């Protein structure tokens, strides 16, 4: 039987519940959410499947050690205790990242170099390997020290899972793909129902909705660091990948559309939707100010990420736009409207209290996701 690993899914604050539910649906065990992440247990094959399928989380880790740590000596011993040669086969580049919060050890740089030193010492000690060319694939090791508790982890994803591969150019203030997917999920929209983003920019919300409708795994077009870990050499990840790819059906992408006033952003949206694997007519895109938008579908869901007016000079214009969103909603009384903003005056400018609100982070910016039925 495949060995089981204690694992951790790192995610943005506010999305832990979505990540936990998705992990359970994918068959992970012992799922428990905490601030900014979710713990779970999974086999190598399950972890690979999760890397392919997870829409909302940033990275998936194998937890190698999780213990109190208040000194560099303790950190060295903690890292040295791991059997690194199970994961390392001789030429990988050992890439250590580190994050310290509210702890005696507060220098990520020092923790990083102690960790790398302890890994190399341990491999020297247990395999007699003396030189480390680091010319092969990456072995990404991530260390967090939080409240004097250190977690030594292997990053199985490699680059963040938000990097699906379809977004190659960024417009003005694009949304991270994982947050866009969370907005679609939290809106209550279901594939087959009309969905329109009236400020679609480079099309991230639309591309994520199309992936969900087509049952296309968001990670299918990219690779993951775990594919070159020594302990997974005998695993048939190619078979899992091809079975996952066979589930995709682009003909299920229907009634997803977007509009914006910026022609350059719309050009990028077209490119991103095509690069996500969909034909140009699968998602309709139009240059229309939301003030003039009139859709003829009976009901549907507007999902949008309007400008926030973070700079004072833009604030008035953005607040006028929030009022125009209410007018859009009034022209489409049977449609649901969902919008994310960091502006505390959103509801006042919109002119009505949302039926549901959810605190989410767009990068470091604290935002609220407002849902009007
Ligand atoms: C924060 S960006 C959206 C980014 C988008 N979610 C993405 O992933 O690229 C806000 C968008 O609203 C658009 N916008 C601003 N005023 C508008 C209006 N009156 N009607 C339609 N779109 C508008 C801007 O052109 C910009 O593309």
Output the CA 265–ligand 1 centroid distance in Å.
Answer: 8
User: Nearest CA to 226 among 35, 42, 370?
Assistant: 42
Output the CA 327–ligand 1 centroid distance in Å.
Answer: 17
Output the CA 7–ligand 1 centroid distance in Å.
Answer: 38
pTM of this prediction? 0.96
Pairwise CA distance, residues 371 & 252, whole Å? 26
Shortest-distance atom of ligand 1 to CA 204: 8
What DSSP letter does each residue of 340-369 carry, written as one string?
EE--TTHHHHHTS--SEEEEEEETTEEEEE
Mutate to test the pocket of ligand 1, among 307, 316, 340 (most ligand atoms within 8 A of CB): 307
Mutate to test the pocket of ligand 1, among 171, 201, 325, 369 (most ligand atoms within 8 A of CB): 201
Pairwise CA distance, residues 53 & 348, whole Å? 38
Q: Are 195 and 209 in contact (CB under 8 A)?
A: yes
Provide the residue ranges of all domains of the chain, joining segments of one domain with +: 4-155, 177-218+249-372
Output the CA 267–ligand 1 centroid distance in Å.
Answer: 13
What DSSP letter does each residue of 113-143 carry, written as one string?
HHHHHHHHHHHHHHH--------SSEEEEEE
Topology (CATH level 3) of domain 177-218+249-372: Rossmann fold (3.40.50)
* Helices 72-80 & 108-127 angle (0-180, nearest 10): 40
Output the CA 203–ligand 1 centroid distance in Å.
Answer: 10
Q: Which residues line ligand 1 (CB under 6 A)?
A: 171-175, 198-199, 201-202, 204-205, 260-262, 265, 289-291, 305-307, 321
Output the CA 260–ligand 1 centroid distance in Å.
Answer: 6
pLDDT per residue as tens, the chain (373 positions): 579 999 999 999 999 999 999 999 999 999 999 999 999 999 999 999 999 999 999 999 999 999 999 999 999 999 999 999 999 988 999 999 999 999 999 999 999 999 999 999 999 998 888 888 999 999 999 999 999 999 999 999 999 999 999 998 776 667 999 999 999 999 999 999 999 999 999 999 999 999 999 999 999 999 999 999 999 999 999 999 999 999 999 999 999 999 999 999 999 999 999 999 999 899 999 999 999 999 998 899 999 999 998 776 689 999 999 999 999 999 999 999 999 999 999 999 999 999 999 999 999 899 999 999 9
3-state secondary structure of 61: strand
Q: E strands along 193-279, which residues?
A: 195-197, 256-260
- Determine the CATH number of domain 4-155: 3.30.2130.30
């Amino acid at each position: 039987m495949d060995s089981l690993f204690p694992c951790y899914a790192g995610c943005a604050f506010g999305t832990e519940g979505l990540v936990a539910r998705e992990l359970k649906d994918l068959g992970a065990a012992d799922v428990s959410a905490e601030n900014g992440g979710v713990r779970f247990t999974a086999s190598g094959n399950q972890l690979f499947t999760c890397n392919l399928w997870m829409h909302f989380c940033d990275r998936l880790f194998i937890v190698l050690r999780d213990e109190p740590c208040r000194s560099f000596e303790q950190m060295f011993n903690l890292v040295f205790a791991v059997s690194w040669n199970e994961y390392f086969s001789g030429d990988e580049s050992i890439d250590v990242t580190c994050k310290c919060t509210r702890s005696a050890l507060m220098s990520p740089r020092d923790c990083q170099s102690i960790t790398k030193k302890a890994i190399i010492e341990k491999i020297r000690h247990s395999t007699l390997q003396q030189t480390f060319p680091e010319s092969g694939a990456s072995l990404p090791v991530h260390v967090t020290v939080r409240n004097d508790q250190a977690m030594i982890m292997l990053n199985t994803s490699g680059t963040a899972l938000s990097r699906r591969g379809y977004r190659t150019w960024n417009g003005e203030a694009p949304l991270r793909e994982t947050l866009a997917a969370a907005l679609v999920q939290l809106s209550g929209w279901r594939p087959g129902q009309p969905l329109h983003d009236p400020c679609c920019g480079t099309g991230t919300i639309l591309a994520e909705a199309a992936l969900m409708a087509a049952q296309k795994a968001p990670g299918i077009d990219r690779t993951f660091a775990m594919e070159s870990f020594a302990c997974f050499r005998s695993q048939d990840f190619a078979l899992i990948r091809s079975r996952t790819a066979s589930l995709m059906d682009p003909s299920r992408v229907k009634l997803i559309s977007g509009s914006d006033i910026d022609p350059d952003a719309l050009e990028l949206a077209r490119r991103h939707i095509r690069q996500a694997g969909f034909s140009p007519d699968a998602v309709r895109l139009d240059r229309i100010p939301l003030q003039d938008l009139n859709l003829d579908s009976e009901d549907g869901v507007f999902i949008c990420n309007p400008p926030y007016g973070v700079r004072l000079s833009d604030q008035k214009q953005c607040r006028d736009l929030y009022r125009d969103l209410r007018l859009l909603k009034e022209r489409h009384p049977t449609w649901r409207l969902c919008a994310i903003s960091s502006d505390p005056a959103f509801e006042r400018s919109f002119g009505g209290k949302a039926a549901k609100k959810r605190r989410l982070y767009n990068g470091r910016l604290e935002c609220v996701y407002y849902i009007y039925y």
